[in-house]
A = this chain, B = another copy of it.
Amino acid sequence: MSTSTGRRLRADAEHNIARILAAAEEVLAVDPAASLEQIGEAAGLTRATVHRRFASRQALLEALTERLNQRYLSALDQSKAETAPPLVVLRRLTEIVFELKISHRFTMELMSARDGCRSGLSPEVEAGLEQVFVRLREAGEITATGADWCRQVYLALLHEAHELPDDAADLVAAGRSRAELVVRAVVGALGGAPSPVGG
């Protein structure tokens, strides 16, 4: 709905849209309540121009989330393309998302802030993620069946691992790789052992 709203833009205008989005990400990562003025300044543009490209602050934020959803899709493609074993897919995906968390910190948190029960992720991304867990289950790596639960646990552990200081003991134990740590934790959380109690 935001891609090509009317007729084609001039090249420089299109270019400025990119600069605004990049600047917004950069500035809002530092101060989530930053004004459009600050964003424009960081983009080397005027507030007026920001308004010309994005009718409202809300519109700008929506453009940011749409952009991140595209990166997510691309990440999913990159990691599962070669029909690799599901654990490898999970590890690759994790590594890419770690990079996204660095370059798109603000938007990541924006999308994590659920309103109600929505995840902020596009349906396509959610479906792609679900596929990863379906394959993990088929391969016997996990036992959990709920798509929501799997996705939430994964993203949560990914996030926490990312917040971890560089010299954390558990990181060393995982061979210095945050991705390794996440993969192990996710597999453990989603059910290495079937059911130690009842049922």
Contacts and interface: CB of A to CB of B under 8 A. Distances in A.
A191 interface: yes
A170 B144 contact: yes
A159 interface: yes
Contacts of A160: 149, 152-153, 156
A184 interface: yes
Nearest to A32: B113
A81 interface: no
A163 interface: yes
Interface in A166-189: 168-171, 173, 175, 180, 184-189
Nearest to A145: B169
Give the interface size bracket for A toward B. 35 or more
Contact of A195 (B157, B173, B185, B189): B173
Quick one: which of A117, A189, A190, A195 has the most chain B CB within 10 A?
A189
A165 B148 contact: yes
Nearest to A180: B197
B196 A163 contact: no
Interface string A26-62: 0000000000000000000000000000000000000
Nearest to A114: B163
A158 to B, nearest CB: 10
Interface of A: 114, 117, 144-146, 148-149, 152-153, 156-157, 159-161, 163-165, 168-171, 173, 175, 180, 184-193, 195-199
Given A145-B173, A149-B160, A156-B159, 17 more contacts: A145-B169, A145-B170, A146-B168, A146-B170, A148-B165, A149-B169, A149-B170, A152-B160, A152-B163, A153-B157, A153-B160, A156-B160, A157-B157, A175-B199, A184-B197, A188-B188, A188-B190
